[in-house]
Structure 1
Amino acid sequence: DDDIDGLVHISDISWTKRIKHPSEVYKKNDTIQAVVLDIDKANERFSLGIKQTQADPWETVAERYEVGKEISGDITNLTDFGVFVELEEGIEGLVHVSEISKENIKSPKEHYQIGETITAKVMNINSDERRIGLSIKRLDEDDDDRYLEEFAKNTKPAASAFGEILLTNIKEKLEAGKNQEESDKEK
């Protein structure tokens, strides 16, 4: 008997798709390409991997979605703690409820719908944990910073102490915001 069984574990089908059962993507007698991951000589079985025939997209996700970059994507899920946004097939980011708006949002379900396209800013990437943190409210903060920068540039030092204090405070706020953004990029 020359038959040898090869098994593709469900976790070795796709890097990014959550597959509950192989029948979601394959049917009996489909021809597939796979990589031999392990050989069990005693039981005459191979462990095979389909996803290993391609590069893991999470290895280069930080290059495609740099921290600070503005992205658009479709909402795939709404939870009490945030909004999941598909950036590309199988790659999702999370807009935590605290990053949706400056106002207190109790439930994202009251403001968004699955399938809706939204724009957000990439705040952090953790490729090891396969997580991308996004923010909607920080898009507005960028507008605020541009306004403050323009105001600070076009404001001449006032004759009063109040004017000088205000201008100094605005410049300090802008500098602190830039330092925070650089700190976020380093994470």
Structure 2
Amino acid sequence: MDGQSESPELWAFLESLHRGDILSGTVAAIERFGVFVALDDGPAHPLFPGVGFIAFPELSWRHIDAPTDVVRVGQRISCEFLQFDTYNLEARLSLKALEPDPLRAFADRTPVGQEMRGTVEKTVSIGVFVDLGDGIVGLLPSGDAPGRPAASPVEGFEAGEEIAVVVAEIDPPRRRVLLSRPRRP
């Protein structure tokens, strides 16, 4: 649709927004591809339940199983404006932008080389995901599991098991925490 001619009011409203603006509204619908927000200010959307749209990765810093872990239809929320989606004529929003990033806090307080305990979340071919608490999940790569045969480096870890790990690398831009096993003499 040509939003500029079909919905000049909405186009003008969206064009007036700037990245970082805080917008308030009500969760209008939760779909399989994202969350629609009916904004307090500005006109309604001609097709969608709301002018605001939050993609799932923008809901929370933490891993979530379902959007309803974070929001419910009818809930009042404030979000940060990310960009004007001219194709869908909507305001792309972020809920997590208004929350402190737990990885940043973890990086500030955790020196590389620190030993800590974590809980095995799941085992995959590349290694073991370990929950370190506070929404931080680190990866213990499969090549780094001393005392285990190389052919099956990640077998033997079970979900829910508590293990000792060492923080090997914290990479905030890639949102990654790499772990290793403590070296025992």
Q: The TM-score by the shorter chain falls in which range?
A: 0.5 to 0.7
Q: Relative to structure 1, is the Cα distance of residues 64 and 107 closer, same or farther in structure 2, using a 3 angstrom cutoff?
A: farther
Letter in 1 for 2:142: V
Identity %: 29
Q: What is the aligned counterpart of 1:37 among 82, 89, 110? A: 82
1:91 and 1:122 map into 2 onto residues whose CA distance is 12
TM-score of the pair, normalised by structure 1: 0.62
2:88 and 2:151 map into 1 onto residues whose CA distance is 55
Whether the 8 Å CA contact 2:60–2:70 is kept in 1: the answer is no
Residue 172 of structure 2 corresponds to 127
Deviations 1:112-144 (A, max 9, x none): 2101111111112212112222111x431xxx3
> Which stretch of structure 1 is more off in the superposition, 39-48 or 58-67?
39-48
| Helix, strand or coil at the partner of 1:60 | helix
> Which stretch of structure 1 is more off in the superposition, 117-126 or 103-112?
103-112
1:81 and 1:7 map into 2 onto residues whose CA distance is 34
Q: Determine whether 1:16 maps to 2:55.
A: no
| Uncovered stretches (5+) of structure 1, i.e. residues with no partner | 145-187
2:166 and 2:88 map into 1 onto residues whose CA distance is 51
User: Which has the higher Rg, Structure 1 or Structure 2?
Assistant: 1
| Helix, strand or coil at the partner of 2:76 | coil
2:171 and 2:94 map into 1 onto residues whose CA distance is 24
In angstroms, what is the RMSD of aligned CA positions? 2.7
2:175 and 2:71 map into 1 onto residues whose CA distance is 25
TM-score of the pair, normalised by structure 2: 0.63
Residue 52 of structure 1 corresponds to 97
Q: Determine whether 1:117 maps to 2:162.
A: yes
Q: Which has the higher strand share?
A: 2
| Uncovered stretches (5+) of structure 2, i.e. residues with no partner | 1-8, 10-42, 46-50
- Give the number of equivalent residue pairs: 139
2:118 and 2:52 map into 1 onto residues whose CA distance is 38
Whether the 8 Å CA contact 1:80–1:108 is kept in 2: the answer is no
